[in-house]
Amino acid sequence: MTLEMSEIRQLALLMREAGLKRLEYTSGAERLLLEREGGVKTAAEEAALSSAPAETERADEKLYTVTSPMVGVFYAAPGPNEPPFVTIGDKVAPGDTLCIIEAMKMMNEIVSEKSGTVVEICVGNGQIVEYGHPLFRLRLEQTGG
């Protein structure tokens, strides 16, 4: 499969719109690597840096940010006509599915590592996310000790 120049332009535009600095596409023996240069950080990079879990927990001990473990497309529900895995106000426990990130045509379930209540959903359905991009904010449950 050979990519046409118009397809490469579309990928570059998608990259810019999503704030990605690097995009790698492989099909069989062909490989395309697009990289953007520049000293300005993307919004996703700024968000990832400013919302690292340790920093968030220091600012508010009961607030925890779930971040994306990979670059991909965020899906709030298991299918197009199905309800979302979680909504604001839902209580979650470790192991509960929060969303799906599609990466390289594979659907990856993102599960909660903590118990708490969903207080913010940081991305919209179908939005491209980068590694470290905030997905959810949880208000952690009170513990006895």
Instruction: Domains for the chain: give ranges and CATH numbers.
Output: 5-35 (no CATH), 43-140 (2.40.50.100)
User: How sure is the predictor about 22, in pLDDT bands with cuts at 50, 70 and 90?
Assistant: confident
Contact 135, 85 (CB under 8 A): no
Q: Is the pLDDT of residue 135 over 90?
A: yes
Mean pLDDT of the chain: 80
DSSP letter (8 states) at residue 4: -
Stated pTM of the model:
0.58
Structure tokens at 27: 């099909």
Sign of CA dihedral 39, 42, 45, 50: positive
- Proportion of the chain above pLDDT 70, given as a percent: 79
In single-letter form, the type of residue at position 75 comes to Y
Q: Is the pLDDT of residue 133 over 50?
A: yes
At 37 the pLDDT is: 64
How does pLDDT run across 49-100, given as a tens digit for each residue?
Answer: 444 444 444 445 689 999 999 999 999 999 989 999 999 999 999 999 999 9
b/e burial code for range 4-19 (CB count within 10 A of at least 16 → b): eeeeeeebeeebeebb
Instruction: Calculate the dihedral angle through the C-alpha atoms of 74, 89, 112, 54, rounding to the nearest 10 degrees.
Output: 90
